[in-house]
Structure 1
Amino acid sequence: MIITVGNTKGGVGKTTLAVSLAILRALSGRDVWLIDGDRQGTAQTAISIRSENGVAPGIACATYPDGTTLRAQVQQQADKFDDIIIDAGGRDSTALRAALVLSDVLLVPFAPRSYDVWALEDMAKLVDEARSVRDGLRAVAVLNLADPGNQSTDNAEAAAAVKEVSQFEYLPTPIRRRKAFSNATGAGLSVQELKPTDKKAIDEINELYKYLFNIK
C-alpha cells in the first residue's frame, strides 16, 4: 500500500504522523519505505537520528522533494517494499502532486483552526485532479493537534466543517496535542517506543493506524 500524508497547509503535524505510521508498520513486521517529499527534510532527519541511536527495526528512508524524481523512484522500487509512506506537502508542490497520483490513500491532517479547514478546499481540488488520471484514490482527513479536552468547541466545529467537504472521508480518530508525539518524532521513535509511556497518545495513534490499514 502507498499512503501519502499531505496538506498544502504547513504546521499540521504531517511529518509526525508519517514517521509514526512508518514505524508502526515496521514494528508489525512489514517492510516499509518512508519517503520525505518535503524540502525541509524533517522526516529524513528523524529517521537518521533513529539509525544513529541503533533503534530497531530500521526504517528505509529517502528524500525526493522533486516530483519527477519521486515518481520515477517509486515506480522503479515499489515492488521491493510492502508499504510506502510519503511525507509530502506544506505547500502545493510537484512532489505532492506526484504522490497523489501514485497513492492508494491520502491522509490529510488538519488542525482545529479556521484557516486549516479552509486549506482543505485546496487539497480537495488536488484530489479531484488526481482522481481524473487514476482510479481508487481514498482521501481521508483526520483532526490532528486537537485540543486535549473532549468538549472542545474548536475540535467539534472543525470536524463538522470537514465533513462538508465531499472529497474526504472524515476519520473519527482525532490525534490530540500531546508532548509525547513531538518528543517521540524528535528522537526518531513512535510513541509506543518512547519512555516513559503516554497511554493516551499510544491509543490515539493506534486507532488511526487501524482505520488506515483496515485492521480489526
Structure 2
Amino acid sequence: MIIAIGNTKGGVGKTTLAVQLAITRALEGREVWLVDGDRQGTAAAAIAARAEAGKQPGIACAQYPDGPTLRAQVQQQRDKWGDIIIDVGGRDSTALRAALILADVLVVPFAPRSYDVWALDDMAALVDEARSVRDGLRAFAVMNQADPGENSTDNADAVAAVAEVPQFTYLPTPIRRRKAFSNASGAGLSVAEMTPRDPKAVAEIKALATSLFNPV
C-alpha cells in the first residue's frame, strides 16, 4: 500500500505521523519504505538518527523533494515494498501532486484550530484534481495534536467542520497532543519503543495504523 501524508498547511504534524506509522508497520514485520518529499528533510533526519543509534528494525528512507523524481522512483520501486509512506511538505508542491497520483490512500492531518480546518479546502481542490486523472484515491482527514480532553469543544467543532468537506472521510482515531510523539519522532523511534512508555500514545498510533492498513 502507498500512503501519502500531506497538507498544504504546515505545522500539523505530518512528519510525526509519517515516522510513527512507518516504524509501527516495520515493528509488525512489514517491509517499509519511508519517502521524504519535503526539502527540509525532517523525516530523513529522524530515520538517520535511528540508524546512528543502531535501533532495529532499520527503516529504509529516501528524500525526493522534486515531484518528477519522487514519482519516477516510487513507480520503479513500488513492487519491492509492502508499504510505502510518503511524507510531503506543508505547501502545494510538485512532490505533493506526485504523491496524490501515486497513493492508494491520502492522510491529511489537521489540528483543531479554525485556520487548520479552513486549509482543508485547499487540499480538497487538489484531491478533486487528482481524482480527475486517476481512480481509487481514498482521502482521510485525521485530527492530530488534538486537545487531550475527551470533551474538548475545539475537537468537536473541528470534527463538525471536516464533515462539511465531502472529499474527505474523517477517521475517528485522533492523535492527541502528547510529548511522547514529538520526543519519539525526533529520535527516530516509535512511541512503543520509548522509555518510559506512554500507553495512551501507543494506543492512539496503533488505532490509526489499524484503521489505515487493516480496516474492518
TM category (shorter chain) comes to over 0.9
What are the ranges of 5 or more consecutive residues in structure 1 without an aligned counterpart?
A: none
Tell me the residue number matched to 1:177: 177
* CA distance in structure 2 between the partners assigned to 1:204 and 1:31 by the alignment: 22
Which residue identity is paired with 1:92?
Answer: D
Tell me the residue number matched to 1:89: 89
TM-score by length of 2: 0.99
* CA distance in structure 2 between the partners assigned to 1:64 and 1:167 by the alignment: 27
Tell me the residue number matched to 1:99: 99
Tell me the residue number matched to 1:190: 190
Tell me the residue number matched to 1:19: 19
TM-score by length of 1: 0.99
* CA distance in structure 2 between the partners assigned to 1:215 and 1:108 by the alignment: 17
Q: Percent identity?
A: 76
Give the superposition deviation at 1:89: 2.7
Which residue identity is paired with 2:192?
Answer: Q
* CA distance in structure 1 between the partners assigned to 2:26 and 2:132 by the alignment: 32
Which residue identity is paired with 1:95?
Answer: A
Q: Residue 88 of structure 2 aligns to a residue in which SS?
A: strand
Give the superposition deviation at 1:131: 0.5
* CA distance in structure 2 between the partners assigned to 1:201 and 1:170 by the alignment: 20
Deviations 1:119-171 (A, max 9, x none): 00000000001111110000000110001111111110001100110000000
Query: Alignment length, in residue pairs?
Result: 216
* CA distance in structure 1 between the partners assigned to 2:29 and 2:39 by the alignment: 29
What are the ranges of 5 or more consecutive residues in structure 2 without an aligned counterpart?
A: none
Paired residues for 1:1-216 under 5 Å = 1-215=1-215
Kindly report structure 1 stretches of 4+ aligned residues shifted beyond 2 Å.
none
Q: 8 Å contact 2:143–2:174 — kept in the other structure?
A: yes
* CA distance in structure 1 between the partners assigned to 2:119 and 2:89 by the alignment: 12
